[in-house]
Structure 1
Amino acid sequence: MTNTNSILLPDLISICPFKAECNPAYERVSDATEAWLNSYGIPYQESTKKYSLWSGLCFPRCSQVRLREMCDIWTLLFSADEIIDSAHISEDDDRSKQQLYKNMIECLQPADSFKPLTSFAAALHEWWQRILINITPSCRERFLMAYRSASEASLLQVANQKNRRTVPDLETYIKSRRNASFGYVVYLTVEYSLELDSIDECWENDTFKRLVDYANDAASWANDIYSFNVEQSQGDYNLISVLMHADPSLNIQQAIDRAGQMVINCYADLERVRSELISWGTKVDTQVDKFVNGLGAVIIGNAVWSFETPRYFGTERAEVKRTRRITLLTPEAPMQGNLTESISNQKKNSNGNTTENVSSQQTLHQ
């Protein structure tokens, strides 16, 4: 008899067209990042969290100086995200989270033009002063726009966490996930970390933008698969829940299998679109090739890292890595029951005076 509490994760690593590697400067840099965070009163131990390892795996080809900048920003944001993602929040905690987000959105300002209200914002503001020394003007503007967009999208999610969960339709979820995932921010730090200074015009090209979207989707959806168990136990939704909401006949294993196939399809789409890129000349083409390989490093690096950090699989991560099998955590509220209730409410609403918005975004109450 099949254990319905046991789920087999898809193999997204061996089939990935990119191969994992770690930046040789990782260990030296991670110590410096840990000391930097601690100097701001932010408690962090790399040996426990492995957040700097994420940067070591996702930016394997950059210089030691640039890797330090990547470890600083992403370890800081992972640490802040831990606070944002706390499962149980009071009214005061909710306001504090929103204030943290707003302050961190505003902190990317020139020196002496910003007053940090938290240690996270103070650290991020100092990091930005270092980045301003070397970042190109166009990359700077793209980064600021992407960072603000992702932060505001995440802030909106925090606002929705207090009393309800909303499960959007698949198309809506894909669009919102691209913004809230910080994927575009990651890929702009790829551009910066590899010291690319000649791909500005590429960002205006539709094929190039599609390629970045596929890379974003592949990494985001893989993350949804790996983080699903923790998120469903807290009553949150992600791609798995969205797929089950769209097709109530799916059980959790089938939804995870479908999500895994979506990631694998993204691998193929990324390779296909890469072959369709136009030529911008030898210098630009060389940098574009480095950039695309950098996207691939993030995709495979993020997947490999998910089994090295306790963030998703806790102390069982080595066994999960070996077997790809997880045991579902007990949820605060049964997800399948919430989905069934939502669909039932949708049918009831469809008999009344409703709009298309009712079917595109249903409310799941805690």
Structure 2
Amino acid sequence: MSASTSTTPTKIILPDLVSHCDFKKRVNRHRKQITTETKQWLFKGGNLNGKKRDAFHGLKAGLLTAMCYPNAGCPQLRVCNDFLTYLFHLDNLSDDMDNYGTRSTADEVLNSLYHPHTYRSSARVGKMTRDYYKRLIITASPGAQQRFIETFDFFFQSVTQQASDRKDGLIPDLESYIALRRDTSGCKPCWALIEYANNLDIPDEVMEHPIIQSLGEAANDLVTWSNDIFSYNVEQSKGDTHNMIPVVMNEEGLDLQAAVDFVGNMCKQSIDRFVDDRANLPSWGPKIDHDVALYVDGLADWIVGSLHWSFESERYFGKTGREVKTTRVVNLLPRRV
């Protein structure tokens, strides 16, 4: 559909990202157990009711966790699943602090992470944070703990910025959006969980190496930008513009389908970037190389796992995910008034 036609598009065709990604899809054998345990943990004390409970079941976070951390032992997988589920529900869990916006939630969470044994607060989001983090620090390396907290801090800073942009009706330029989205995605703390889930203790100078950083960024970009494509329909129906597709339409002057294709190509390039970087990893000696290979495999698990999960979850396509995965056709929802 060209930009000059006045008719509003009724559907979009998704890029074929699943075929472009030939990484092996793996699923952790503890998936069912941790799904049940996390559900009990999340619902304790009436945290979520009615529609929010249904949304939890439709989310299938346990499947995402099991595909992204396929080799984790059961206790580690449970912590990862608690964290991912909590991340998806962070808005709901901090409802009682909505009046203060994201900053008060950030204070609760970060105080709970920096002082898990001494910080006391009655807010449920703080209690849940302390609960999973106390379990994480039993086996996580000091470096993984530090990276988890630092990147989660960046997440809250960027979410606060996003809330401010949304309030002002701002559509950022593409470069600013990409920089912000790498933190609002919440991927970076999940990369620290790869270290934790696989019992890795990789030196800081290795984790800070440009190629390791570039691999993490390529994986983040693929997970995040593909998520913008998959979530576009639900978001446009709510009038939410914090998505790469409207950003590209605005900056490049493209119509909707052309913008979807543009972002799709960027996703494919991020997979190609990852493959190139992986082939060019330097060597740090047998022990570190072994751990680095496991970490990089973990990033690849996230790329392939998130792509397949997006069509299994009901978050983006309701009950039609598998059909959309085959046809790649998404019928656009009407704009909510």
Letter in 2 for 1:127: Y
Following the alignment from structure 2 to structure 1, what is the Cα–Cα distance between the partners of residues 90 and 125?
7
- For the pair 1:128 / 2:133, whether they are aligned, the reply is yes
- For the pair 1:165 / 2:180, whether they are aligned, the reply is no
Equivalent pair of 1:101/1:155 in contact (CA under 8 Å): no
Find the structure with the greater CA-based Rg.
1
Q: CA deviation at 1:47?
A: 3.5
Where structure 1 has 5 or more consecutive residues not aligned to the other structure, the ranges are 87-91, 334-366
Q: CA deviation at 1:49?
A: 2.8
Following the alignment from structure 1 to structure 2, what is the Cα–Cα distance between the partners of residues 257 and 186?
28
50-59 or 219-228: which moved more? Answer: 50-59
TM norm structure 1: 0.83
Q: CA deviation at 1:3?
A: 8.7
Equivalent pair of 1:23/1:57 in contact (CA under 8 Å): yes
Alignment of 1:52-201 (within 5 A): 52-81=62-91, 93-95=98-100, 97-162=102-167, 164-201=168-205
The structure-2 alpha-carbon separation of the partners of 1:82 and 1:242, relative to structure 1 and needing over 3 Å to count, comes to: farther
- Corresponding residue for residue 348 of structure 1: none
Following the alignment from structure 1 to structure 2, what is the Cα–Cα distance between the partners of residues 112 and 190?
24
Following the alignment from structure 2 to structure 1, what is the Cα–Cα distance between the partners of residues 322 and 32?
21
- Corresponding residue for residue 217 of structure 1: 221
TM norm structure 2: 0.89
Q: CA deviation at 1:66?
A: 0.9
Equivalent pair of 1:40/1:123 in contact (CA under 8 Å): no
Q: Secondary structure at the match of 2:282?
A: coil
- Corresponding residue for residue 247 of structure 2: 242
- Corresponding residue for residue 269 of structure 2: 265
Q: Secondary structure at the match of 1:108?
A: helix
Following the alignment from structure 2 to structure 1, what is the Cα–Cα distance between the partners of residues 236 and 92?
16
Following the alignment from structure 2 to structure 1, what is the Cα–Cα distance between the partners of residues 92 and 329?
25
| Deviation sequence 1:90-117 (CA, Å, 0-9, x none) | xx94535543343223321334422234
Q: CA deviation at 1:75?
A: 0.7
Identity between Structure 1 and Structure 2 (%): 33
The structure-2 alpha-carbon separation of the partners of 1:294 and 1:172, relative to structure 1 and needing over 3 Å to count, comes to: same
| Deviation sequence 1:174-195 (CA, Å, 0-9, x none) | 1111111111111111111111
Following the alignment from structure 2 to structure 1, what is the Cα–Cα distance between the partners of residues 102 and 215?
33
Following the alignment from structure 1 to structure 2, what is the Cα–Cα distance between the partners of residues 208 and 309?
30
- For the pair 1:296 / 2:300, whether they are aligned, the reply is yes
Q: Secondary structure at the match of 2:214?
A: helix
| Deviation sequence 1:270-326 (CA, Å, 0-9, x none) | 111112221001111111111111001111111111111111111332322231111
Following the alignment from structure 2 to structure 1, what is the Cα–Cα distance between the partners of residues 191 and 302?
8
Letter in 1 for 2:309: W
Following the alignment from structure 1 to structure 2, what is the Cα–Cα distance between the partners of residues 139 and 286?
17
320-329 or 152-161: which moved more? Answer: 152-161
Aligned length in residues = 325
128-137 or 102-111: which moved more? Answer: 102-111
Give the superposed CA RMSD: 2.2
Equivalent pair of 2:18/2:307 in contact (CA under 8 Å): yes
